[in-house]
Amino acid sequence: MRTNGPRIAIVADYLNQRGGAEWVVAVLHELFPDAPIYTTIADPVRLWPGLRGADIRVSWMQRLPGVLRRFKYYLPFYYLAVESMRLQEYDLVVSSSCAFGLGARARVDATHICYCHTPARFVWNYAAYVEKEALGPAARAVLPWMIGAVRRRDVAMARRPNYFVANSSAVANRIRIYYGREAVVIPPPVDINRFTPTEAPGDYYLVVSRLNPYKRIDLAVAAFNALRRPLLVVGEGPDRARLERMAGPTIRFAGWLGDAEVARAYAGCRALVFPGEEDFGIAPVEAGAAGRPVVAYQGGGALDTVLEGETGVFFREPTVEALTDAVARLERQPWSAARIRANAEHFGVDRFKGRFGRFVMERLAAGGRSTVPCAA
């Protein structure tokens, strides 16, 4: 979306890995190709291909020793780095934030739209964050003492955006609870064109995930041990060794696979198993793009992407019994690959660009000032 009108800047927490938040920044760059991207740190080697050649402007944090490898050790500095970004020349600031970007200081008469992946987990869900990130003893000792002050700062920074856009209904609810702000839900972009639907299911179930404890892959392993059904686990992570020790003879670990191999794994599976609770969760949409149903825990972003009885089934308790019952229910009914694919198409890249682009233009046309309540 090229424009001769408002001067636009994009703000990202950091660009030193290839995660979902960084993918959204790459798509925002496609939407606003002339907008410079401000970020705390960036690793040119690990950028999404769509960001190579972009006008990326890093903060002073880029010069800190070892910051690209040990970026979690510099947690207190990110707020200062975001607040130091010089954004006064821009009429519109679009921040992509799961922690710090919402604190960007736009000009008083400018519009700041925050695309929020989640309020900062280390602030609002500390126990889950520690489990996810596998923090060392030093960080575990220091962080609890900082949480109160950081939480107050986070709430203050959440007053700065004129508008919040959440990636799921679950995240919108957190924004309402933690910040006292309302958010429009616009799901993130998913590259559905990598996948081809198939009507003929294979005989195995599939997990595609980073192998962290909070992902609850252990629940899937235990359930499929009990079911004695084939389960293919695609992904790597710190929990792999424990999961392999749990696994029976019907469960195979494939590690990380390339894009083409992952697409084939989706197309050939009977269904995807999605046992954890995610902010959004891209895997159910990818499975849907391949025409395959999902067995999903009923929580988080899956509530927005999985249609009970049409594109998958839910289990409501995080137990082996609930998951095995959901698998039995899935196997008792036929599934339409075309219907499942049609649902996945609601989450494609072009749909995101259209929704977000319209949201931006409508807010600018309305004068750019938010009327939603903010926390006192």
Walking along the chain (376 residues) 10 residues at a time, the average pLDDT comes out as: 76 91 95 96 92 95 90 84 95 95 94 95 69 55 68 91 97 97 97 89 93 93 98 94 97 95 96 96 96 97 97 97 98 95 97 96 76 31
Q: Cα separation of 331 and 327, whole Å?
A: 6
Q: Cα separation of 220 and 201, whole Å?
A: 19
Alpha-carbon distances of 161 from 71, 193, 195, 371, rounded to whole Å: 25, 33, 36, 11
Q: Exposed (0-12), middle (13-18) or buried (19+): which is 80, by Cβ within 10 Å?
A: middle
| First-to-final CA distance of the chain | 36
Q: Identify whether residues 328 and 298 lie together within a single domain.
A: yes
Q: Is the residue at 321 inside a domain?
A: yes
- Name the residue among 316, 307, 243 with its Cα closest to residue 275: 316
DSSP label of 187: P
Q: Is the residue at 266 inside a domain?
A: yes
Give the global pTM.
0.88
Residue 132 · residue 98 · CB < 8 Å: no
Q: Identify whether residues 309 and 213 lie together within a single domain.
A: yes
Q: Identify whether residues 227 and 267 lie together within a single domain.
A: yes
pLDDT at 131: 54
Q: Is the residue at 375 inside a domain?
A: no
CB within 8 A of 162, min separation 6: which ones? Answer: 111, 112, 113, 363, 368, 369, 370
CATH number at residue 325: 3.40.50.2000
DSSP label of 376: -
Q: Is the residue at 374 inside a domain?
A: no
Q: Cα separation of 199 and 193, whole Å?
A: 17
Q: Identify whether residues 322 and 303 lie together within a single domain.
A: yes
Q: Identify whether residues 109 and 151 lie together within a single domain.
A: yes
Q: Is the residue at 196 inside a domain?
A: yes
Q: Which residue segment(s) compose the domain that 173 sits in?
A: 8-189+349-365
pLDDT at 4: 63
Q: Identify whether residues 157 and 274 lie together within a single domain.
A: no
Note the residue count of the chain: 376
pLDDT at 136: 58
Q: Is the residue at 372 inside a domain?
A: no
pLDDT at 130: 56
Whether the CA torsion 152, 154, 155, 159 is positive or negative: it is positive
